[in-house]
Amino acid sequence: MKDTKQQFEHVIGICRDLFAKKLHDYGAAWRIMRPTSITDQIFIKANRIRSIETKGVTMVDEGIRPEFIGIVNYGIIGLIQLELGYAEKDDMKVEKAMELYDRYAKQALDLMLAKNHDYDEAWRSMRISSYTDLILMKIYRTKQIEGHDGATLVSEGIDANYMDMINYSVFGLIKLEFGE
């Protein structure tokens, strides 16, 4: 399966499946999270990936794949929270959460396809560790923007950074799933 769109849809399907299962188990408990907390959660996952890449060993028997899946899912949660704001309790039905998940996954796919056209799939020549570093950079940018209450002078906003984090994670998952 060399077609990028198919590969993207395949790995997003894996992420979506886990999201749906966790939604069943926990409900939409994430609705209470403020965007800054979501950014920090993504940071924890990206930092763990970098730690594993650097150290080469893990003390917890999970590799980088689950962390990339987590970044995709928290990135989509972040986009949902930016749109709706956070809630004081789990206030979302499963159907609505999945509808929003699918909408943002589709937006991420559309963005990736547009950028892929312009950049000629340069990501395929990159190392997975570069995706990790780019995600961490996007997190630090996001934290800076959050520190300015979301206001930027010339830069894209928090939502664009979440989208990029999602897509870099998808690239990592594609490489892990399908190889170089």
pLDDT of residue 88: 96
- Cα separation, 85 vs 140, in Å, equals 21
Q: Which residue has the higher pLDDT, 144 or 179?
A: 144
Q: What is the pLDDT of residues 79-124, one digit of tens each?
A: 999 999 999 999 999 999 999 999 999 999 999 999 998 999 999 9
Integer Cα distance of 139 and 83 in angstroms: 19
Residue 143 has pLDDT above 50, yes or no: yes
Of 179 and 72, the one with more pLDDT? 72
Instruction: Enumerate residues 6+ apart whose C-beta is below 8 A from 11.
Output: 72, 170, 173, 174, 177
Alpha-helical runs (H) found in 85-148 = 94-119, 128-147
- Residue 62 binned pLDDT confidence (cut-offs 50, 70, 90): confident
Q: What is the C-alpha radius of gyration for the chain, rounded to an integer number of angstroms?
A: 16
Q: What is the mean pLDDT of the chain?
A: 95
pLDDT attached to residue 1: 46
pLDDT digits (tens, 9 = 90+) for 35-48: 999 999 999 999 99
Query: How many other CB atoms are found less than 10 A from the CB of residue 51?
Result: 15
Distance separating alpha carbons of residues 172 and 170, to the nearest angstrom: 5
Nearest to 46, CA basis, from 155, 128, 152, 145: 128
Q: Residue 179 has what pLDDT?
A: 87
Q: What average pLDDT score do residues 129-145 get?
A: 98
Question: What is the model's pLDDT at position 99?
Answer: 98
pLDDT of the residue at 9: 97
- pLDDT bucket at 25, cuts 50 / 70 / 90: very high
| Residue 76, CB-side half-sphere exposure with 13 Å CA sphere | 28
